[in-house]
Structure formats: structure tokens, C-alpha cells
């Protein structure tokens, strides 16, 4: 099993540009989570999906952020337009139903200049 796969590993972009982060969950996992980690705010849950349906997006900071899960094997987190304060490490995680077997990807380090 390749685990949760995130791409890209690093992203540097200019303020105002659109950024798309990608995640492939573990096959057979039906819950998917997006997190943001910063020194100031720690690990924040942005949104999670169950069976491809968004369940809780209350952590999405503002309308510039959007997430989709078009099928069980792929999810995206998009920031448009990006701002320097969006700089962080973004993690994706997946699990079997009920949060069992929870596994994180390696993260995407985003830098907005």
C-alpha cells in the first residue's frame, strides 16, 4: 500500500495566483480530511468528506478556499486567489469509517510570496 499520496510536496507561488493541492487516499478508505499546520495555529481541520460528500467544512477559513472530492480516489484543495498568510503545510489524511485506521500524507508545503 502506497499510503496517502499528496502532490506537490512543495509549492511556491506569487500572491494572487491560484493554487491546487492534490490528494489520493488509501484505497478502501471512505473518509478524507484536509488540515493546515502553522506555528501560530497548530493543526487545523479544514474540511472532511465521508463517501465523497463534504460533512463539515466549518474550518475552511474563507471563500478563497474550496475542496472537492469527485471520486473515492481523488481530492483537491484549491486556494484562489492565494495570499501570503496562506503559507503553511497542508496535510491530507484518510481513514476507514469511524476514524479507525487514520493515515496522513506527507504534506504539501505552500509558500505564497
Tell me the closest approach of the beta carbon of residue 112 to another protein, in angstroms: 19
Element (H, E) at 35: strand 31-38
Interaction residues for another protein, span 38-57 (CB under 8 A) = 42-43, 45, 48, 56
Position 34 contacts another protein (CB under 8 A): no
Please give the full DSSP string across 61-109, using - where no structure is assigned: -STTEEEEEEETTEEEEEESS--GGG-EEEEEEEESTTSTT-EE---EE
Tell me the closest approach of the beta carbon of residue 40 to another protein, in angstroms: 11
- Name which of 10 and 85 has its Cβ closer to another protein: 10
* Contact range with another protein by CB under 8 A, out of 20-28, 63-71, 73-81, 89-97: 89-97
Please give the full DSSP string across 6-26, using - where no structure is assigned: EE-SEEEE-TT--EEEEEEPP
* Contact range with another protein by CB under 8 A, out of 12-20, 61-69, 73-81, 92-100: 92-100
Tell me the closest approach of the beta carbon of residue 16 to another protein, in angstroms: 27
Alpha-carbon gap, residue 73 to 90, rounded angstroms: 18
Q: How many CB atoms lie within 10 A of CB 11?
A: 18
Q: Which residues bind another protein (CB under 8 A)?
A: 33, 35, 42-43, 45, 48, 56, 89, 91, 93, 98-104, 106-107
Amino acid at each position: 500500500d502506497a499510503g496517502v499520496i499528496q502532490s506537490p510536496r512543495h509549492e511556491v507561488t506569487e500572491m494572487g495566483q491560484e493554487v491546487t493541492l492534490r490528494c489520493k487516499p488509501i484505497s478502501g478508505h471512505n473518509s478524507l480530511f484536509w488540515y493546515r499546520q502553522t506555528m501560530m495555529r497548530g493543526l487545523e481541520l479544514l474540511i472532511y468528506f465521508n463517501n465523497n460528500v463534504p460533512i463539515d467544512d466549518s474550518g475552511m477559513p474563507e471563500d478563497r478556499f474550496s475542496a472537492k472530492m469527485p471520486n473515492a480516489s481523488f481530492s483537491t484543495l484549491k486556494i484562489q486567489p492565494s495570499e501570503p498568510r496562506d503559507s503553511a503545510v497542508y496535510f491530507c489524511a484518510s481513514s476507514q469509517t469511524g476514524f479507525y485506521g487514520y493515515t496522513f500524507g506527507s504534506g504539501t508545503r505552500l509558500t505564497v510570496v
